[in-house]
Structure 1
Amino acid sequence: MSDSTENYGILVGVDGSAESDAAVRWAAREAALYGAPVTLVHVIQPILVSWPIGQYGATVIDWQDENAQTVIEQARKTVRACVEESRLPSIRAEIRKDVAAGGLIEASKTAQMLVVGRRGVGALDHVVMGSVSTGVLHHARGPVVVVHTDDEWSRENGLPVLLGVDGSPASEEATARAFDEASRRGVDLVALHAWSDAGVVAALGMDEREVEGEGQELLAERLAGWQERYPDVEVHRRIACDWPAHRLLEEARRAQLVVLGSHGRGGFTGMLLGSVSSRVAQSAATPVMVVRPR
């Protein structure tokens, strides 16, 4: 079944899990901000066996089809409960038969962003991030948002957008997105630059004040043009001598959205996902947007 077109707008992967529902709510509110369509995608994974499945297989396939329709309909209701339908151009739906991550990755090519729950159906309590969310973080085209919980309180209380800045090309794309997100929400932007840790600075005989000064210069350079473009966004610059992932996770507790590049200063064009982005997406309770290249 499909009632979507080439422009998927805000694309959200749905599977009926609690975190999938949170992703749907987050995506619905994001679509309202952008005036974009919401496209709900449920992927039915093929049955892979090495023997004839007979009637049992047909029963499973029928159940998958029925379950897919149920999941999609519930997701539609969730969208409508979050925002007025008049604020969205459309609510679309698509059911694909593919490996779950693969179906979403393919659809992400023409979406403004892809939103997924951190864990899906069948994830164990001790599993931090599911295979689908991991797969799309490494391979999707464009921004990917991983949602653990949709904390409406953080939006209502105007918590800021948190941006991780490291000076890389991927960080530049994330900076553009973070300013846009903060502007649309009418909230401040916290720009954080963190480097290594105090032990490394001391071991190399570096002056921490000098390193901090270089960090301030980097932030000033990377933010200057964007602050001119978004004068409505108040920016708070933060410099930290700490492991980047650790400090980002600390700051994320006081933010409504974290925005990161897909890989940092040590990354290269063919690299899939940086360790900082991966760890923050896996561990933060706050929604995390990883801005992947098209």
Structure 2
Amino acid sequence: MTTHAREQHHPVVTNPSLVPYGAVVVGVDAILTDIVLDWAIDHARAQGRPLVLAHASGPAWAERTVLDAEQLRDKLVKVGEDALEHGYERARRRAGDDVRIERFVGIEDAAELLVGLSRRASLVVVGSHGRGPVGRLLLGSVGVVVAERAACPVAVHRPRRVGVVRQGVLVGIGATAHSRSTLEVAFRLASSHRLPLTIVHSRSELEATATGPHLVSGDALQDVDEERLQVAETIAGLREDHPDVHTTVHLARGRPDQALTSLAGRMDLLVVGRHDGRRGQLVGGTAISILEHSSCSVVVVPEVPTAP
């Protein structure tokens, strides 16, 4: 790209306070694929939100060297600007004038940068290497840390297997007072991407856990009236707000993470709530277990209990 063409860009942003509220923030690094970037661009356009391409040029460790600190900072910002060039041009071509696009470069650790930007974002999007028994290692510290600590939902995208027919968005809910935010995000994602939504309400039972998770659906729902009514009341308003979203409800018996990951193989997205404990960890390890073992992309939603 010529120097003249570069000058037509908006200046790269380095001050977090200049990042627009409600933006879709995408962490741009070596593992972010064009497929994931396109998903984020389309999501920002469907939601009518700005798109922020964010790159971490690393902590300013070199300030302790003989190099001038200001010169070093300018160099690192330039490195970040170059790293964002492809994504910026792709977003401009794909979204046109429909989406406001900003570039952000932070001179800090990638996870800390994205956690910080999550306080102003509506969604943070990151890529991942894959999945497996060493899923945490494959996800990388950035995806795990951001999913654990972000103030907004985090979409951790995985490589997609070719030839698999996907069946939309899957969301897992537990106690209804802790699931409202998770359900709202799932409905918005399904609506924005024109996908059906499968809702699974999971309750752990020793007998079911011993034999693995199983679903209780269809006519059998009539035999669990209290649970069925709780779920129906929880999703009623959201169904009215999103009449375009086709929903299916299942009750499951067994560990929530097992029930959800067993269904994830043919889903586009799996949405799960994060309930923070005193240490800011994912309570019971459920969300982390799903991140490590799900065979589809996962959206982790920070949940705040609502009044009964």
Bucket of the pairwise TM-score, normalised by the shorter protein: 0.7 to 0.9
Moved more, 57-66 or 281-290: 57-66
Deviation per residue, 1:174-220 (Å, 9 max, x gap) = 111212222233332100122225536789xxxx989x725434322
8 Å CA contact 1:194–1:239 kept in 2: the answer is yes
Question: Would the aligned equivalents of 1:14 and 1:20 in 2 still touch at CA under 8 Å?
Answer: no
How far the C-alpha of 1:5 sits from its partner, in A, is 3.6
* Counterpart mapping for 1:39-118 below 5 A: 39-46=52-59, 48=61, 53-54=65-66, 64-80=76-92, 83-88=94-99, 90-118=100-128
Which residue identity does 1:165 align to in structure 2?
A: I
CA distance in 1 between counterparts of 2:50 and 2:227 reads 39
**In 1: Cα distance, 2:244 partner to 2:128 partner:** 32
Equivalent AA in structure 1 for residue 146 of structure 2:
V
> CA deviation digits over 1:42-94, x for unaligned, max 9?
11222548x96446x9999787555422211022134345x232332x11101
- After TM superposition, list the pairs within 5 Å mapping 1:137-148 onto structure 2: 137-148=147-158
1:180 corresponds to: 188
* Within-5 A mapping of 1:1-294: 1-2=12-13, 5-7=19-21, 9-15=23-29, 17-19=30-32, 21-46=34-59, 48=61, 53-54=65-66, 64-80=76-92, 83-88=94-99, 90-119=100-129, 127-149=137-159, 159-197=167-205, 199=207, 213=224, 214-263=226-275, 268=277, 271-274=280-283, 275-293=285-303
Q: For residue 248 of structure 1, report the CA deviation from its aligned partner.
A: 0.9
Distance 1:150 1:6 in 2: 31
The answer (yes or no) to whether the contact 1:8–1:39 under 8 Å persists in 2 is: no
Cα 1:72/1:188, change in 2 over 3 Å? same
**Where does the alignment leave 5 or more consecutive residues of structure 2 unmatched?**
1-11
AA in 2 matched with 1:196: S
Amino acid at match of 1:18: I
Q: Distance in 2 between matches of 1:30 and 1:104?
A: 18
CA contact (8 A) 1:9 1:112 kept: yes
Whole-Å Cα distance in 1 between the matches of residues 111 and 136 of structure 2? 21
Check conservation: 1:141, 1:293, Cα contact below 8 A: no
Unaligned runs of 5+ in 1: none
Q: 1:150 to 1:71 in 2, by over 3 A?
A: farther
Residue 266 of structure 2 aligns to a residue whose secondary structure is coil
TM score, norm. by length of structure 1: 0.78
**1:119-144 deviation line (CA, Å, top 9, x unaligned):** 59xxx998232111111112111111
Identical residues among aligned pairs (%): 25
Q: Secondary structure at the match of 2:239?
A: helix
